[in-house]
Amino acid sequence: MADTPSGNKSEKQPPPDLNLDKPSSAGTGGSKGAGGGAKPGGVSSSRSSTGKPQAPKAATDSPEPAKAKPSAGTPKPGGQAVASAARPAQPAKAVASAGAGPQAMAEEAPPSRSFGSLFLLLPSWLISMVFHMVLLLILAIWVIPEPDRSGLSRIVVPPPTKVEELEEIREEPLEQINVESPVDTVVIAPDPTQVPELPKSDDLDAATVKVDLENFGLQQVPRSDLLAHRGTFFGSGLEGRGKGKGQLLRAGGGNEASELAVAKALKWLAEHQMPNGGWNFNHAMAPSCQGKCRNPGTETEAWNAATGLALLPFLGAGQTHREGKYKENVKRGLMFLVSRMQRSPQGGSLYEGGRGRMYSHGICAIALCEAYAMTKDKYLYEPAQLAVNFIAYAQDPVGGGWRYEPRQKGDTSVVGWQIMALKSAHLAYLQVPPITVRKAVQFLDSVQTNSGANYGYTDPGAGAATTAIGLLSRMMLGWKRETPALERGVQWLSNHGPNINPGAGTANMYYNYYATQVLRHWEGELWDKWNVKMRDSLIQTQAKQGHEEGSWFFTGEHGTELAGRLYCTAMATMILEVYYRHMPIYRAHAVEAQFPE
């Protein structure tokens, strides 16, 4: 029974000695593991005659491994003898270890206890983490039972008892129709001169882009002057050229005869439009005329100028490419101008050869800006803005004027058209560079006399037409009614009166056009006096019969020979539209509170 107390021995053993692999102090060689040679106790047992392993005597008294006592004739375990005796037994080491007795069991106990001790030394958080991970794995693989579907009811649809049969469709021959009279096929060849129609835009109120308006004039231009209440330039209604047209006509001094003259003039202009949508100063080129009207102009290259000048009377009467009796004529005319615009980084140029040049561009720019302002058609926004940009580029950078060629030293005649275009653009909410306006004022200062009451052509002077142009430009740029120079200038024009002689058939329509606008904005007794003579003279001199009916032609002016009957008719029509074409500038209820100090 001495070789089976291994259980009790394991309980009494102290913690394992971590220096078991070190040599003992007695010089026995110690235990070297499985590959380090024979243990001291194993040598004696291997040499026993019976071959059975002997348990050491002191196994129960000491926790250290038992040492074998040397017998008679046996060398002491000192090193070489034991090593030499152990070498033959190395091949059978696995067998010996398998048959080890209580000594081997005693040696195997310390590793199991070391694992237990290491488990006790583990931190609590690590044990908790492992436990919860195992718990999460169990929950993850938890199988949720499927819901009980036994309570669901079944819906049984019985098969149809009777199938409806489709009726057979019989094909019947088509009845032949006999055409008694044959129809001639008419082939219309496309006209290469036709201009495509304007694209339709239903958004009448939205602007294409947000435009930051600049102050117009020396510092600021009042929003309610000149064109402030006309059409859609300001407000929501066509107060001047639309619904309020009749009231303004009567209040301003017009009558039924003047309006009838305007209607006949528009009809004559429409009949002399060219197939390509434009107009030409040689009106005899129109297919509907073919020389039936006298006095054609000799200037045939200025297509843009003639087209722009012919469009202005239609726009002045409230006719646009969207509405009115002549909307198709206006549409084709606008498309003609847009198609001929030369775009560049400097803007959109309608400059052309012949006598038109910058005259052409200024007149066309007015037409485009007015058409855009009256309709808010986004298609016209870009051409109108580009035309304004080119005016700014073409201005004389030194003197601030305009003339025949871009950036040339200016003259008052060309300047007048450009300033009217800039004013129309500003009131149409297009961008106008303030520096352009300041330089235009600088030019007017350079040609004025009598402290601004009179104006010359390229130098200080007092010509009739140039004075009228200069005063109208000053009104557009913000001069107040109380300005002494303006008052003297208006009186000077009134003293000269309209330049028209019905009996002789002579007139200076260029002067009459500008001066009539100046007096209309001034109003009062001076306007009433002017209007009676100007209005009645034009009504009297309008052609009354033949293909010329509704047109005018005057001699006595250099421009009439070049521009002919078309030019005279357009200028006379705009003069008779002055009652509603522009709202008067100096009306107290609309202006005085908005002029800059």
The answer to whether residue 61 is domain-embedded is no
DSSP state letters, 95-128 = HHHHT--HHHHHHHHHHHHHHHHHHHHS-HHHHH
How much is the average pLDDT of 433-454?
97
Structure tokens at 292: 């039936």
Query: What pLDDT was estimated at residue 182?
Result: 46
- The top-scoring range by mean pLDDT among 62-66, 124-128, 488-492 is 488-492
pLDDT digits (tens, 9 = 90+) for 237-294: 334 566 678 888 999 999 999 999 999 999 999 999 999 999 999 999 999 999 999 9
Tokens encoding 90: 């190395």
Looking up residue 528, the CATH number of its domain turns out to be 1.50.10.20
- Amino acid (one-letter) located at 470: G
Quickly count: other Cβ atoms within 10 Å of residue 81's Cβ.
Answer: 13
> Backbone dihedral region of 497: left (phi > 0), alpha (psi from -120 to 50 degrees) or beta?
left
Which sign, positive or negative, has the C-alpha torsion 339, 340, 343, 346?
negative
| Average pLDDT of span 106-121 | 57
The pLDDT confidence band at residue 36, using thresholds 50, 70 and 90, is very low
**Cα 555 from Cα 564, distance rounded (Å):** 9
Task: For residues 129 and 132, give the distance between their C-alpha atoms in angstroms, rounded to a whole number.
Answer: 5
C-alpha 379/C-alpha 34 separation (Å) is: 102
Q: Answer whether residue 196 is part of any domain.
A: no
Helix or strand or coil: residue 35?
Answer: coil
Band the pLDDT of 116: cuts 50, 70, 90. Answer: low
Answer whether residue 68 is part of any domain.
no
Identify the burial level of 511 via C-beta atoms within 10 angstroms of its C-beta, where 0-12 means exposed, 13-18 middle and 19 or more buried.
buried
Query: Considering the entire predicted model, what is its pTM?
Result: 0.62
Quick one: which of 168, 6, 192 has its CA closest to 103? 6
Q: What's the whole-number average pLDDT of the chain?
A: 75
- Give the model's confidence band at 20: pLDDT under 50 very low, under 70 low, under 90 confident, else very high: very low
Residue 483 is assigned to a structural domain of this protein: yes
* DSSP three-state, residue 44: helix
Q: Which tops the pLDDT comparison, 147 or 489?
A: 489
Q: Is the pLDDT of residue 464 over 90?
A: yes
Contacts of 437 (CB under 8 A, 6+ apart): 216, 217, 218, 422, 477
Q: What angle do CA 48, 53, 56 make, to 5 degrees?
A: 100
- For residue range 39-53, what is the model confidence (pLDDT) as tens digits? 434 433 334 434 444
- Tokens representing 250? 């009567």
Residue 98 lies in a domain: no
| Residue 562 is assigned to a structural domain of this protein | yes
CB 282 within 8 A of CB 296: yes
pLDDT band at 35 (very low <50, low <70, confident <90, very high): very low
Cβ within 8 Å of residue 51, ≥6 positions away: none
Task: Give the pLDDT confidence score for residue 130 in this predicted structure.
Answer: 85
Q: Which structural domain range is residue 499 located in?
A: 245-589
Q: Which pLDDT belongs to residue 243?
A: 66
- H/E run at residue 41: helix 40-46
Residue 44 lies in a domain: no
Cβ neighbour number for residue 87 with a 10 Å cutoff: 10
Q: pLDDT-derived band of residue 121, with 50, 70 and 90 as boundaries?
A: confident
Number of domains in the chain: 1
Bridge partners of 347, per DSSP, are 344
- pLDDT, tens digit, 9 for 90 and up, residues 348-389: 999 998 889 999 999 999 999 999 999 999 999 999 999 999
Longest C-alpha distance within the chain, in Å? 175
Which pLDDT score is estimated for 465? 97
Which of 171-180, 215-224, 260-269 shows the highest mean pLDDT? 260-269
* CA 319 – CA 270 distance, rounded (Å): 12
User: What percent of the chain has pLDDT above 70?
Assistant: 61
All residues at 6 or more sequence positions from 365 whose CB lies less than 8 Å from its CB, including other chains: 308, 350, 384, 387, 388, 390, 391, 418, 421, 424, 425
pLDDT score of 103:
47
- Please check whether residue 42 lies inside any domain of the structure: no
CA terminus-to-terminus distance, the chain? 132
Using pLDDT thresholds of 50, 70 and 90, give the confidence band for residue 556: confident
Alpha helical stretches, state H, 200-302: 245-252, 256-271
Statement: residue 131 has pLDDT above 80: yes
